Amino acid sequence: MTARDATGTPVGLTVSAFASLSLDPPLILICLNRDVHDLAVFHAGPFAVNILSEGQQALSRRFAGPREARFLELEVEAARNGCPILPESLAVIECRMESVVAGGDHDIIIGAVTSLRCHPEGRPLIYYAGGYNRLADAPPTAR
């Protein structure tokens, strides 16, 4: 998840709780712990969700690590909404902040999708049960 703070500095972090909320209107949700340093930036919006490909484990770990190293020597492009796009992202979902709902020790940030771009090739990075995993091939469907 990426954004820019009030000074234009890029901010970002790895999130583990992200989901589609609605198709009409297109909404997504992200759950962030209230202890996240840049929480106020994501409350204000806009933001971008960068879906990483299965070969980008190092980038995922980087954005889960120290804040000052996340964008260090990383070439990013700007999304239409001005948010940083991480290199080689499988998909990018640009959002404006729709609302925030309290959920225990987390805030559920609901974003209204303003733009979406996907690369047709590649598989998403999956984090499950404490580690990175591969998405299994689906069996062929009967027609």
Q: What was the pLDDT predicted at 93?
A: 97
- Residue 105: which CATH number? 2.30.110.10
- Give tens-digit pLDDT for 73-123: 999 999 999 999 999 999 999 999 999 999 999 999 999 999 999 987 889
- pTM, rounded to two decimals: 0.90
Q: Is pLDDT above 90 for 16? A: no
Number of folded domains that form the chain = 1
Range of the domain at 108: 2-120
- Give tens-digit pLDDT for 38-86: 999 999 989 999 999 999 999 999 999 999 999 999 999 999 999 999 9
Contact 94, 114 (CB under 8 A): yes
Q: Is residue 42 situated within a structural domain?
A: yes
Q: Is residue 128 situated within a structural domain?
A: no
Q: Is residue 66 situated within a structural domain?
A: yes
